[in-house]
Each structure stands twice: as C-alpha cells, then as structure tokens.
Structure 1
Amino acid sequence: LFFCLAGGISADKNNTSNSTDSVCPSVHQHPRYVAVKKNMPIYFICYSNDPKNMQWYKTAEDSEDICGLDKNTSQYTINRTDTFINLTFFRVTYEDSAIYVCDRKNIPEKKYLHACGTELRVMGHSSIKQIQNRNTLKDAIIIIQSILLVVFISIPILLLLDKVSDSKKSPEEDHTYEGLEVEQMATYEDITPFRDVKAKWTVGEHPGEE
C-alpha cells in the first residue's frame, strides 16, 4: 500500500533536517525523465549509501500532496539492496503519470523533498504517433527554412556578381565614322566612272550607245 500526505501537515524538526541542505542530495536517480506507452513496464533506480532508510514518493508538479510508496502492491514493487532501492511498475496506467522522488523516510511535506526527481509520462499509441508526426513536421520546416535562407542569400550575391561582370565586359565604342563630316563624303558625281557617264549624257548620247 502507499500513503498520501497533504501539503498542509506541519513538519517535525527531526524529520525535516534532510533534503533542505542541498537541491540534489547524495542519492542518484535514474532515469530523470521517461515517456512510455500505456500497459508497459518501467522501473526506476535510486542509488544511496543507506537505502534501508530511503523510500519513493509520488507527487505532481502542480500539487503540494505527496504519496509515500513503501510497500509492494499489485501495480508496483519495491526492491532494496545494500546500494540501491528500485521501484518497478508492472503495467503503467495514465494515473501513474507523476514525479517520483527517492528520499529519506517519513518526509511529511513536499517542500522537504529534493528537486532531483524522476518524471514519468504515460502516453497512448496515438500520443506517441502525434509526437513523431510533430517531430517530422519540425524537421521539414527546418529544411524549408534552410533552403529559403540559402536562396535569399544567394540571389543578391548573384545579382552583384552579374553587375560587376557586365561593367568589366562593356563593348568598345565604334569609332569607324568618327571625324568624317557629311561634306567630305563623296557623291556619285565625284567618282570618276560615274562622272564620265554624266558627261556623255550632256552631249546627247545614250549610255547604251557607243
């Protein structure tokens, strides 16, 4: 069986000189956080120099109540050795989702528990699938953001390089007719072959006659 204590119970001085000395005492819990499917087994390990005087407590983040897990039940079992104390759940349920703290026995209030507990979250199959889908969506969003970032950075750089290339390859100006005035351009009358033909026309000869 397990017993539950409300947070309003006053603490005895002999029982409260334990975990207030440090945030994490000399005990070591493993794991610190675990999420499992419903009806799956799970166990927690608490290493301590004095496991016989240690026990597991169940509490919630938004509650001041604590439940001491001291004896074996049909839902869980507690195993003590010379160096550790184990808490094993045979088949977890949604009600088992809580924070489990391994601390000294007979602690009356939650504020005297150390802050290095183990959080257990029991989820259904759909919840785990939703988490996987959410992680996949996050990965896709990160990839898309990376591609867009590369595109937005590359476009200005390419435009700048193209502008610099155009400035270096500007075509040379055509100076073929530079300095040639219209008055200096030869007419048909100034060209010798055409001038002789015009002279024959003035005499009365046809260009085709000899």
Structure 2
Amino acid sequence: MQQNPRYMAAKKNTRVHFVCYTSQPHAMQWYKALTDEEKFHPLDLSSDRFSINITHDRINFTIFKISYEDNGVYVCDSKNLTEERRQPYLCGTELRVMSNRTIEQTQSRNTLKDAIIIIQSILLVIFISVPMLLFLEKGDGKESPEEDHTYEGLEVEQMATYEDITPFRDVKAKWTVGEHPGEE
C-alpha cells in the first residue's frame, strides 16, 4: 500500500485529489479523522461532495469543493479498520483548507507586520545603544592628562614650586620666632 500526497493545503471551494496504490483495491476504504483526534471514521459513500473511483491497482479519492469541515487526516486502509479498532498502516494525507483573503486584508496584515518591525527596531536601539553610550561615557573613573587642571595657569618654573607645597592642615601650626606671618 502507498498513499500520496502526504500533506495538502488548498483554498476553499477548490478540488483536491488523493491516490492510494494497493494490490487489493476492492478490500480497501477511505477513512477520515479530525486532526485533533485519533479515531478514524469511514467516509459516507452516498455524499455528492466527493467521489471514490476504484481501478485495478488504486483507489482515487476526490473532493469537488472543499470547505473548512474537510480539514483532517485521510487514510486508505482495509474495510475492517473500525471493527478491528486499530490504527491504520499508513500515516495518511493531512488536508488543510486555507481561506481566501482579499487584497485589503493582505495589505492590512502587511501594514501591521511593518509596524511591529519598526517598534522592535526602536526598542532595540533604545535598550542596546543607550546603555552602551552611558557605559562609555562613564569610563573607568580616571581622568586623562588632557583633563588634569593641576598646573593650569602656571609657568614651567612655578610647577616645581607648586609640587613642594604641603597640603593644608586643619591643626594650628606652631610658628617659630620670625616665621609667623604677623611678625616682621
């Protein structure tokens, strides 16, 4: 036994065709299961929505105008599949009925997709670029020599004198005679 195709997606109101190749076509039957259940049901042969043609080595199954209730898995197996309460030998053919969209619906959907992409791009710039810029601006806390204003306004000879000045002390200095600024 061999069945094809394995998967089919078609627009509503179109025709679909499945083929099952077998050496015993008169002992076979087509079954359907919904995609969310595992139990297969035999197809109603009295329906005018589809046809089943049997030849010497195959069973052809055609649905003339598919609708949403035709979604499911179709499998070709022996006529006693439901009596034996077993799973089919083949995995079957999954049919998905697709909707017809108008140009306006497609354009609206594309506009929505574009808006989502733009919003994602803006958020990406905000949440990646801004923290990086803040991190680079902060630096490692050390000032570069260009930003050091210690010797600003001093001549070269005065710089050495400036470095010899001791830092300001909070305690009162003890002055020796002649050194007090108020004494001359």
Partner of 1:66: 41
Output the aligned Cα RMSD. 4.2
Question: Structure 1: how far apart are the matches of 2:144 and 2:54?
Answer: 83
Check whether the contact 2:31–2:40 (CA below 8 A) recurs between aligned residues.
no
> Could you report, residue by residue, the CA deviation over 1:35-88 in whole angstroms, capped at 9, with x for unpaired residues?
521x21112233x4436143311232347461246x585322224456653321
Partner of 1:7: none
> Could you report, residue by residue, the CA deviation over 1:117-151 in whole angstroms, capped at 9, with x for unpaired residues?
33334455469x87996687467535633552353
Identity %: 41
Check whether the contact 1:41–1:88 (CA below 8 A) recurs between aligned residues.
yes
Q: Is residue 119 from structure 1 mapped to residue 104 from structure 2 by the alignment? A: no
Question: Structure 2: how far apart are the matches of 1:111 and 1:158?
Answer: 68
Amino acid of the residue matched to residue 44 of structure 1? F
Q: In structure 1, which of residues 155, 175, 178 is the aligned counterpart of residue 130 of structure 2?
A: 155
Q: 1:172 Cα shift?
A: 2.8
Amino acid of the residue matched to residue 78 of structure 2? R
Give me the TM-score of the superposition, normalised by structure 2.
Answer: 0.56
Q: 1:158 Cα shift?
A: 2.2
Question: Structure 2: how far apart are the matches of 1:118 and 1:155?
Answer: 52
Question: Structure 2: how far apart are the matches of 1:124 and 1:148?
Answer: 34
Q: 1:156 Cα shift?
A: 1.9
Partner of 1:171: 147
Structure 2 unaligned regions, length at least 5? 163-184
Amino acid of the residue matched to residue 50 of structure 1? S
Check whether the contact 1:55–1:105 (CA below 8 A) recurs between aligned residues.
yes
Q: Is residue 102 from structure 1 mapped to residue 80 from structure 2 by the alignment? A: no
Give me the TM-score of the superposition, normalised by structure 1.
Answer: 0.50
> Could you report, residue by residue, the CA deviation over 1:88-124 in whole angstroms, capped at 9, with x for unpaired residues?
1111234433331122232125952337233334455
Question: Structure 1: how far apart are the matches of 2:115 and 2:85?
Answer: 43
In our comparison, the structure showing a higher alpha carbon Rg is 1
Structure 1 unaligned regions, length at least 5? 1-25, 181-210
